[in-house]
Each structure stands twice: as C-alpha cells, then as structure tokens.
Structure 1
Amino acid sequence: MTTEAETKPAVSQSGDQLKLPNIVTQSIYAGKYRDRNPDISAAGKLTATGDSAYQCLTPPARPLSPESVRRFRATLRPDAGKPSVFYGKAYDPHLRWAADMTHGLVAQPSIAAGKLLNPQPLTLFKYKLNQKKEQLYASHRRGPLGKSHDQKPGFPEGLDVDNVTFGILTERDIGAGILINPNKSPLQVEEESEVGRDLYRKSHRDYLVGESKDRKYAPPNYGKMKLYGVPTPHDNTGGLTKKSLKWLHELQSEKAAKIVSKRVDDFRERTEPQLGQVHDPIKDTLRVPPDHTFGILVKPDTYGAGDLMHGRVPGEYLRGKDRQRGVLAAIRQHLKKANYHSFENLLHAFKFYDKDGTGKIDINNLHEVCAQFNLPVEPELLVQLMDCCDANKDGFIDYVEFANFLNWKDKLPSGFPDKKDETAHTSNAVVEDKDLVPKSPQSRASTPRRLQKQIDDAITQQKTSSSVISAVVGGLSTKDYRSYGVPTIRSDIPVPRIRRIDDTKNYGDESDAYGLLNPSIYSVQGVHEKDFLLPRPKEEIKEIFTNIGVKMTLDTFDDLWKMASQRHPKGHVSVESFRGVLDEIQAAQLQS
C-alpha cells in the first residue's frame, strides 16, 4: 500500500512540478537471452537510470530575450547569419523597404550557357533548311563545310595543277646548329667581333668591361695608364663592409653593459627559468642561504652495491676509487703507446725494462722507465701499478704479464721464432715454450698467451643460462627441447610454387643480413645461390662445366655424375653437388 505522499508528484517551493527519473525494472539483457527462471528475481539493486546520452547532449531551448534586449544584441553581438543593425534604426521603416527593394534593370532571359555549349540536335528538316540557306553565300560554294577550298576557278586555263609549282626555290645552306655554333676557334670569333667596333664605341658607347674611355685628352703630361685619385680601402675578408654597416653608437652599445632595472631583473628571475639555475619561484619567501640543504645529512657508506654483491672485504672496497683506477688506466695507456712507437717487438721492449737481465721487472726498473718516458708517477701509484700488472702475485712482472698488461700484444710481434717451426727452440730464460701460442690456427707467428685478470671471481661459481646452453665446451644441448612459437624462417613447410603478393614468409630461400652486406661475386652477373642448387639434366651440367674450362672425358663425367646422383635421395644433381664431388676427387689426387 502506498501513501498519499508517494502517489502525488513532488512540488517545489515555487509551485512547479519536478520530474523524477523513471526506474527501469527490466534487465539490460532483456530480449537478448531466454530467461529460464522467470519466477526468480534478478540480484542487485534497481537504481534510477536518469536521462539518456541524447538528452544530456541536447540542451533545452533558450527562452527568447525581450525585444528591447534583442535590439542591442543585434548591434553588438548579432546571431549567426544575421546582419548587424544599429539599435537606433531597429524600427526604421526604410530598412524593411530596403529588404524588399530591387535595384537595377530587369534583364531579359537569354540562351543559357549550357544550351549554348551543348545545343539540341536539329531535326532533318531544319538541317536541310539551314543547308539551303547557306548555299546562297559565295564562300559556302567555294569552300563547303567539311571540304577543302577549291582554287581551280582562279587558275589560268590549261595549267597543270599537279606538276606546276609557284615561288622561288630555296637553296639549301648550312643548318641552324652550324649557324649558331660555327666551327671557329675563340680567337677567330673575337677577331670577327672586333671588326667595326671602333665605330660603335663612338656612336653607341660600346665599351668592354674594364675598358677605359678615350676622352681625347692631349696634355703633355697625360697618360692613359696613369691612375688618379685616392685608392678606395679594400679588405677581402669583408671587415670594412661590416664596419661601414655598423654605426658607432651600435658598437659602443654592444661592448657596454646593458642596464636593466633591478625590479625587472628580480621579476624575470622569479618568473622565468634561467640558464644554469634552478627555477625557484618561492626563494624569497623561504629566506634561507643559497647553500642551504633541507633534511638530515646521512653519512655515505664506504661500500657500494658492487662491493656487497661480490662480498669484498673492507680493505678491497672499490667505492670512491674511480679516480685512482682512472689514473692507473691512463698510466698503462701511456706506457703501451710508448712501447708501440719505440720498439719493434715485445722482446726488445721487455729487455729495455729489465735492466738487470734477470728475466723479471721489479718496481725499481718500472720507476726508472717511467722517468725515461717523462712520466712522473708517485710511489703509491707505482705500487698500485705493480700490483695491477702482477697476476701471479710474486712481486715481479714477467714477460707474459708485461705483454698482456703493458703492451698491445696483438699489434707487435713476440720477438721469438715461429711456434710451428720444428727446428726453432727458445733457449732464452725470459719465457717458456708453453707461454707462446700461435696467433691463429693458420698462422705460424707466435704470441704470448692471453691472461685474464678480473677484479672479482664469479659469485659462488655462478653461470648464466646463456653461457651453459649450447656452449662450445661442456654446454647443454637443446636438440630435444620443445620449441615454442613460429620460426622466422619457415623451413618446415614447402615453398609454394606460385607465391601471392601478400605472402611475406621467408621459406629459407631469401638472403640474410650477411648475404646482403657481402654479396657473392656471382650475384653481380645475375646468378644467385638458388641457381647453384636447382636440379639440372645431365646435358646441361656437362655444358656448364665445359664452358667454364673443365676438360674431362665422357667416361669421367659419367662416373662423377653417378657419384653426385647417389648423394641425393631422388637422384637429382645440381651444379653445387657436382662441383663438390669434383673438388673431393681433386683433393684426393693432390694428397696422394
């Protein structure tokens, strides 16, 4: 049961009725899904839906302003599309008359432009009638429409029109190209242009650039080659031009200090960011010195994050030693450069450091060499440099440590015989045979073995997954691991015989980045890798190798063809497979 207050609409104090929003009792899914339990009410609370989006975006119409107000608005702020009318003339009857008045003369309508450009087609009767009227004119009889003008009535009688020509025969002369650019030397052209120019000098004042005028002066002390007057100052750099364009007061104002009001300068500093300064608009209200620091000053730790990760002891902390390590690196770089430019190999450089000939360098030898190279080093830094280069911590620097830490060992020869030479043997006590290794597997030159010196060892022998999986030595094989995703190169599916334009898959027949940056010598001639791998018939293979100069008998070619066809499951032979068989046979003949 509802009360009287609930049934009556709400009334405001002014007496107007207020419209309350309706409450929607239907679900938002009504009509979309079948309700299999209509007797069970939906969960939740019914709320007022309010106005729709269309009602919110469509505001109610504004009430009309009084006529007296609209008069003034039409003058200062007229509505869109309405002319501006002065409020004093709002009720002027002449304005209403002028709105309906038409000025000028009423023009009679004529043929429109469309009909004039595209006239309607004439009927056959009108066409014949116009043609009959046109026949009255003599011009139409002489040259009717669509036919050439007949000149025969004006010719004399008995004239052979097909063979007789009128006018004077033009003689063939030189072409326009030879006339514009004659086959003459510059000297001949200049001589021809000078002919008669003396007359033009007097009549037309035809003087060349820089040519002096002949004024017919004949005093005894006058000469054409003399110069009169004061020379104009000239500067090739343009300094005089800049000076003439800059006035004196402008130069003085640029050199002098610009005077600005302190009030303006303080306002600019407070409101505008200044270069190299922090923008602080409330600096004047804080009233603290410029070097004031807010908060509690925390004393920094003597160790850093790297020291904690590697578990360094207090005496080996690296925090705060960046400058010291940088100075040591600069000293090592200076010694490396001096050794590279002063000695021809590493052995000569080491003997220059080893003054005593003991095969090792002590701290006194290092100090003496630094003094000779004009490299002043403090004793503390010298001890640290000695400790940095001494890998085995025996207090000395041997040949291998000297080559690794104080030289560019890959750029200088070792000074010892080749490693692969059986007759050579290092009898010197400076280095042992095990400390010399070849520079590369194909090289016979020897070089000291590489020393790796790190600040810290790996934390608890930690190894990253990238260093363990697929490693060269002792790595884990990922052959049986499950693969996820789609491979970039789709070698798992066959290449379509006809590819669509939108097919951007790489089926393994496209070149990689290395092939694009370093193309083969065959690609210049339009031959690519797939041309070497395509299966070809026997006659084509024989013709290709015969054309490049490979001479063989027919029996030899048949044997090579059989060997190459046995390597393919279907017996196909390509240029690459046949070349591989040929190379193997030649290599076996050379070894035997």
Structure 2
Amino acid sequence: MSNIGKFQDRNPGVRPAGVVTTIPDDSTRACVQPPPPRESTPEKIRKYRKSFNDEPGMKQIHYGIVDDPLPAETFTYGKKTYKSDHVHQIIGPNRNQGLGQFQTGLKEQKYASSIKEPLGKGFERGYSYPQEVNTSDFKFGQQTVPSESSKVLIFPPNGRREEPEEVRKLYFISHGVTEAGEQMSRNYNWPINKNDHRFGMPDPPELNGVAMALRPETYGSSHPKTEIIKKTVEDFRNANHEELGKSKNLGTGLNNADSNRVFGVPTYKEPWDAGQCIRGNPAPQELAPDKDLGKSTRFGFRNDFKPGDEVRQFGVPTIRNDIEKKSFKSVADPNNYGDEASVVQLLYPDYWLRFGINQSEFTRPRDVEEIRSLFEAIGMPMGKGKSITISNKAYDMFGVVSLESFIHGLRWYEERGLH
C-alpha cells in the first residue's frame, strides 16, 4: 500500500538523509557479517599469473624457476679473481736500471725506431749535406720576389671615383657600401636630434681614482687595524712560509757556504755541439732513400700506371668544361663553369654591376633585331642593312653575335669610314 500524498514535506530545502540504492545485499547485515571470501587461485597455477610478481615484497622471479631449490647460504656467486700484479706495480714508475736497462737496450737495437729516433735525440735521416751548408750565411729555400702590397691592391691611391649621388645610392641599395666614416642611417623618425642626443646615463666623476687604486688602505674605512698576535704564531709563519726574495726555510740551519758555490752535479759534456746535433753523422744506409719512396703504402690505393697513362691527368678539373652547365645554376652546385668573377673583378667591380647588369649580358648570343632595338634605346639608331653587315663581321671575328662582338664589329665598320 503506497503512502504517496499522505505526508507533507515541511522542509523542502533540506536534503534527505541516507542513500537510496538498488544494489542487492547492500545492507547493515552485509556490512557486519560479510560473505565468505572467494576461492583463491591454486598454487600450481598462481605462479603463471601476472599478479604473482606484483604482490608487496615479492622478488621478480621467472615462473620457470620459482620451485627450484636455492643453494646454501654460504654459496658465493660469480667467478673467482685470479692473482695478478698489484696496482702500485702497474702504475708505479719503471725502475729498470743498471743491468736490466742495459739488457733492454740490447733487445731494442733491432727496432728501426731505436736507430732513427734514439732516446733523447731528434729524428735522424742521415742526410749528407755539401760543404756550402756549413757556412754561417747559408739559408734554405728560395728568396721571395717582392711585389705590390695588399694595401695598394685593396686601397689604390687613385682608386676613388666621383659618382653622382643617385648612382651612389643605387650602389648602397644593391651592395650596402658606404663611404669611409659615413654613419649608417636607417631613416628612423626620431623624436629628437640623433646627432646631438646622447643615450645612456653618465657615470659620476670620481676624483683621485689612480691614487685610490694604488693605495686603497689610505682612503675611507678600508685602513687596516693594527692587530697584536703571539710571537709563536709569527715564528711559525716565518718558518713555514716563503719570504719575498728568499728561499723557503727547510730547518737545516744557517747556510754559511760561499756565494760562488754551485750546488748539484755538473752536466756531462758530449763531444758534439748543437751544429753536429742538427747535421748529424749519418751512415750510408741511412742516406739511402726509403724503399716505399713515391709509392703508396696503403693497401688498395697502389695505383700503377698503365701503358699510355704517362701523360694522363687524373682527378677532376677545377673549371668544369667537361659537363654541361644548366640554364639555372642551383645554390648547392659547387662546380665552377668558368663564368665566375676573378680576383681583379672582385677588387675592382665592373661599372655595369652598379646598375644590376651582369657581364654575361654582353657575351650572351642575341638576335640582330634585338641588338638594333638596344642601340635605338640609347639613341643610336641604325639601318637594317648596316646592322646585318656589322653582325656578319662580328660573327666572322668571334664566332657569335653578341653585344660585345657587335661593338667590335661597329668599330671595324667606323674605322673604314663606312656609314
């Protein structure tokens, strides 16, 4: 029997207590008397489950060795270390002296390094120089022929050329070149006069800066205070520290030796002087050329000449005339096709480069009508017959009709009084 409509909610804004659930067995009895636990996984199957190694305190063990018996607690894993030389014997200095050193020297006499490079001496090739080499004014090499200095090439004395202002501006736009001492102007709209204004904050002037740097203890509060210490401390410092201009006191007492006395053992004087050490006294077999002179000692790189290769030039030429130049050269193309600028052109750029015209435009093959239109554009009109005659002469002289060859043909035409 339903109670709907029989009660009135006097506090509609208060949430009712408790939770309404439809889950079975979710009651107080189920909480006080929980059901018996479910059956666990059998031990013989449990080791194959992923949750076996995830339990707290469990070691990650493969299921194949879980049931294997462990060795005794006194069992030692690893391999036993064999006895060998100690560290101080390996790292320590070589004390091969006396008879042992003499025996080592006899064993090493057969090595080429001991013959050519004896211990304590330089590499001896055993060259036999003529008597002229022994003179004091002899010098190796070839005297450098004097030539023009790089300053004259880069900054010629008469290299300045007066140009119109509009031409100079075009050269600045194309190459970014300015005159010597010219200020770089980016045409900013400054609210101030940039020529009179100074940016930043000035440092306050400081008087007697050099005196303060040389004698800082006499200024301000940096003057050191006088401290009184014990005489034992002063004696310890004098005995353990080095005084300026004196050797360290090693506690051996006063040295009353003569000031001219020389300590140590005198150096053994060899019969050879510095000149003999440089020139040497080589044996005949040491003066002989190496057996592999002029031959490659690397396996696989011994290129022997074949019949007909005596005048052959190996390698790739610097200027690649053996391959065809593409119409549009890539930036990543490292080849030189013979059309790059020389050093003289880099130091003294051509006049037409200032207007963005490349030198190749004058040597490129052109049609006669195109050349006529270019001459008419600069105020030099010519007839069709005259242009054909000049172009034929240019082709006979240079084998191609271009602006450069056409100009030479025009000179030939005018020198003979033709019109």
Query: Does the alignment reach a TM-score above 0.5?
Result: no
User: So what's the TM-score if we normalise by structure 2?
Assistant: 0.30
| Bigger-Rg structure (1/2) | 1
Higher RCO (CA-CA < 8 Å; seq separation 6+):
2
